[in-house]
Amino acid sequence: DAGVTQSPTHLIKTRGQQVTLRCSPKSGHDTVSWYQQALGQGPQFIFQYYEEEERQRGNFPDRFSGHQFPNYSSELNVNALLLGDSALYLCASSNDVRAGDGNEQFFGPGTRLTVL
């Protein structure tokens, strides 16, 4: 089992550009969440996808969007990049937790985005 995989590992962009990050969930998982971890901070919840739809969202602007594919993999898109978007972007997968049973999230290694 490969676990959660993310690509690319590192990415350098300039302000105003657009970026797409990719995530493949752990085998058997159907829910994908994205987090932004700025330097020296804890991860902050961006949004969660289930059944190819955004199910809930954190306090992030519309420049942050995503997609989930039928095979449960997911993309995070960020438009009009700002310097403040520089961070480690983490993807986490889990089983559907509508029951709220504290199901464990498995995290990928992250994509390090640098905006110049």
Partner 1 sequence: AQSVTQLDSQVPVFEEAPVELRCNYSSSVSVYLFWYVQYPNQGLQLLLKYLSGSTLVKGINGFEAEFNKSQTSFHLRKPSVHISDTAEYFCAVDTTGGYQKVTFGTGTKLQVIP
Identify the CA nearest to 78 among candidates 13, 7, 6, 9: 13
Q: Which stretch binds partner 1 (CB under 8 A): 11-19, 61-69, 79-87, 107-115?
A: 107-115
Q: Is the peptide bond before 61 cis (omega within 30 degrees of 0)?
A: no
Nearer to partner 1, 28 or 100 (CB): 100
Extract the tokens encoding 61. 């602007």
Extract the tokens encoding 46. 């961006």
The size of the interface with partner 1 (CB under 8 A), counted in residues, is 30
Choosing from 8, 52, 77, 104, the residue that interacts with partner 1 (CB under 8 A) is 104
21 binds partner 1, rule: CB under 8 A? no
Count of other CB atoms within 10 angstroms of residue 23: 27
Count of other CB atoms within 10 angstroms of residue 60: 15
30 binds partner 1, rule: CB under 8 A? no
Query: Residues in the site for partner 1, rule: CB under 8 A?
Result: 4, 31, 33, 35, 40-45, 48, 55-56, 58, 90, 92, 94, 97-98, 100-110
